Amino acid sequence: EVQLVESGGGLVKPGGSLRLSCEVSGVTFSNAWMSWVRQAPGKGLEWVGRIKSKTDGGTTDYAAPVTGRFTISRDDSKNTLYLQMNSLKTEDTAVYYCTSVLRFLEWSDSWGQGTLVTVSS
Amino acid sequence: EIVLTQSPGTLSLSPGERATLSCRATQSVSSKLAWYQQKPGQAPRLLIYEASNRATGIPARFSGSGSGTDFTLTISSLEPEDFAVYYCQQRSKWRGSFGQGTKLEIK
């Protein structure tokens, strides 16, 4: 069974930075495609971005609102996915979910429990 | 940008009834559409992918149909645990997007 455990959320001021981590087990992480999805309090889901496995090119893609500010990366030696968030805005406040993604099909088939990021002065 | 619109916003039904949820895209997404279920305080769960394929472990009462711009999620006979929020998602382009959700509540 795939398990994903996010960490690193918290309170940050507008303009600040934060790095989220997601530790993955139960799957060969190096072969996994991974993504981040967020959910603002009381709102719907928003796709943030995706990273392919290194063997499939390691390509990243991002949603328009976070392009240029957020970076997804991975450390296959640590079975860990990262989301580096810079120039944070109040509208980035959300629960951030780490998900595994069906290879090539790109659907999120396993989800972590989420970590809350609050951007406020 | 592809926008997904789900209808209705809220659907009130009783256990045993049939539920029909709709998702419409502003341009064709072919069959690149999925459905997720989210219960309060929980992460979403993948139900249907590629418009009509049930994900692993999903009961047969859940089915998906459609292609192009119009899609439907059908729950043939509602169980008490099916009352939740349902989201559609498209991945026809390299950026994904979700619909705003349909809340399925007990009547």
Size of interface A-B (CB pairs under 8 A): 57
Indicate yes or no: CB of B96 within 8 angstroms of CB of A62. Answer: no
Residue A45 is nearest to which of B1, B94, B98, comparing CB atoms?
B98
pLDDT digits (tens, 9 = 90+) for A55-64: 999 999 999 9
Residue A55: phi, psi to the nearest 5?
Answer: -65, -20
Report the alpha-carbon distance of residue A1 to residue A29 in Å, rounded: 13
Compare all CA atoms of chain B with the CA of A59 and give the residue at the minimum distance. B94
Q: Which of A113, A75, A72 is nearest to A95 (CA)?
A: A113
Q: CA A99, A107, A51: angle at the middle one, nearest 5?
A: 55
pLDDT digits (tens, 9 = 90+) for A6-39: 999 999 999 999 999 999 999 999 999 999 999 9
The neighbour count for residue B18, using CB atoms within 10 Å, is 11
pLDDT of chain B along its 107 residues, tens only?
Answer: 899 999 999 999 999 999 999 999 999 999 999 999 999 999 999 999 999 999 999 999 999 999 999 999 999 999 999 999 999 999 876 678 999 999 999 99
- The whole-number pLDDT of residue A21 equals 98
Compare all CA atoms of chain B with the CA of A96 and give the residue at the minimum distance. B43
Report the alpha-carbon distance of residue B38 to residue B27 in Å, rounded: 26
